[in-house]
Amino acid sequence: MSPGPAGGGGPDGDHGRHGIRVAIDGPAASGKSTTARAVAERLGYAHLNSGLLYRAITWAGLEGGWVDAGPDEFARRVGELDLELRRRNGEFVVVVADRRPGGELTTRAVSRRVSDVAAREPARTRALEELREAGRRGGVVCDGRDIGTVVFPDAELKVYLVATAEERARRRLLDYDETPTEERIAAEAERLRARDEKDAGRELAPLRKPDDAVEIDTTDLRPGEVVDSIVELARERGA
Ligand code: CDP
């Protein structure tokens, strides 16, 4: 198997492909995006963080005051949104009206609302189109909730990352630059559980482990160990 971005070459059907697709799904703060970014870097692939699309729609909806709009207005606003994914040095970035939102997408205000937005049909359809287009030629490591089940059901490698809610909360607090005291961990774990419940309980593209995914529990693993295992699996599958 040839390594690198041109890997995955094979029979005729692979013409124009840039490599395999790696789908990484799992609950909130399970380490998906950090892991996906590192795996993409090792393989010379692009990282595609699908959560950023839902966060960008949520952020735009909060800014524009239509986040809670009724079905017709919500569909119209999402349809009109000037939103795209652009590939920049091994990473797909979300661009909204020619602006690249940064830290605004990961605030608690956005995190609190994103699961409600992500459950609505116009948001899912819009994100699905953008993600499929970005991954059309392969060579991507995409993380989210429904990547292996809905977005790329034929991905060559599917991984499902899990960790205890407390460990995920501890990591998320460190992302926010907050000291993970016991009390804060308990409160953050509650917020993560609430979001997981919404994501797993919704009708459209709910969070669930794809039948053919490899599950990795990262609770007691160092980030490098998780990355090594996934890179090895990806190589076995043609990356
Ligand atoms: O980083 P974290 O795990 O906290 O969340 P994220 O990956 O940024 O995703 C934020 C939210 O977007 C999730 O809680 C889901 O509601 C939604 N999402 C989704 O519905 N489908 C995806 N493929 C990715 C994210």
Report the CATH number at residue 127. Answer: 3.40.50.300
Q: How far is the CA of 50 from the centre of ligand 1 (A)?
A: 7
Q: How far is the CA of 228 from the centre of ligand 1 (A)?
A: 24
What is the pLDDT averaged over residues 215-231?
96
Of 57, 106, 114, 150, best ligand 1 pocket probe by most atoms within 8 Å of the beta carbon:
114
Q: How far is the CA of 200 from the centre of ligand 1 (A)?
A: 11
Residue 4 lies in a domain: no
**pLDDT at residue 3 above 80?**
no
Q: Containing domain of residue 26, as a range?
A: 21-226
In ligand 1, the atom with minimum distance to the C-alpha of 30 is 3
- The distance from CA 233 to its chain's CA centroid, rounded to whole angstroms, is 19
Q: pTM, whole model, 2 decimals?
A: 0.92
Q: Ligand 1: does its nearest atom lie under 6 Å from the Cβ of 28?
A: yes
Domain total in the chain: 1
pLDDT band at 11 (very low <50, low <70, confident <90, very high): very low
pLDDT band at 14 (very low <50, low <70, confident <90, very high): low
Q: Ligand 1: does its nearest atom lie under 6 Å from the Cβ of 195?
A: yes
In ligand 1, the atom with minimum distance to the C-alpha of 52 is 8
Range 198-201, long-range pairs (CB < 8 A, 24+ positions): 198/115, 198/116, 198/119, 199/27, 199/28, 199/115, 199/118, 199/145, 200/27
pLDDT band at 12 (very low <50, low <70, confident <90, very high): very low
Q: How far is the CA of 54 from the centre of ligand 1 (A)?
A: 7
Q: Is 5 exposed, middle or buried (0-12, 13-18, 19+ CB in 10 A)?
A: middle
Q: Ligand 1: does its nearest atom lie under 6 Å from the Cβ of 146?
A: yes
Worst-scoring range by mean pLDDT, 12-21, 180-189, 223-232?
12-21
**pLDDT at residue 225 above 50?**
yes
What pLDDT score was predicted for residue 5? 45
pLDDT band at 16 (very low <50, low <70, confident <90, very high): confident
Q: How far is the CA of 7 from the centre of ligand 1 (A)?
A: 29
Q: Which amino acid is at 25?
A: D
Q: How far is the CA of 55 from the centre of ligand 1 (A)?
A: 8
**pLDDT at residue 220 above 90?**
yes
What pLDDT score was predicted for residue 17? 82
Residue 55 lies in a domain: yes
Residue 136 lies in a domain: yes
CB within 8 Å of 225: residues ≥ 6 apart: none
pLDDT tens per residue, range 112-158:
999 999 999 999 999 999 999 999 999 999 999 999 999 999 999 99
Residue 183 lies in a domain: yes
Which residue has a Cα nearest atom 20 of ligand 1? Answer: 118
- The distance from CA 156 to its chain's CA centroid, rounded to whole angstroms, is 17
Q: Ligand 1: does its nearest atom lie under 6 Å from the Cβ of 130?
A: no
Residue 30 lies in a domain: yes
What is the pLDDT averaged over residues 79-90?
94
Residue 1 lies in a domain: no
Residue 34 lies in a domain: yes
Residue 234 lies in a domain: no
Which phi and psi angles does 158 have, rounded to 5°?
A: -120, 130
**Is the Cβ–Cβ distance between 84 and 133 less than 8 Å?**
no
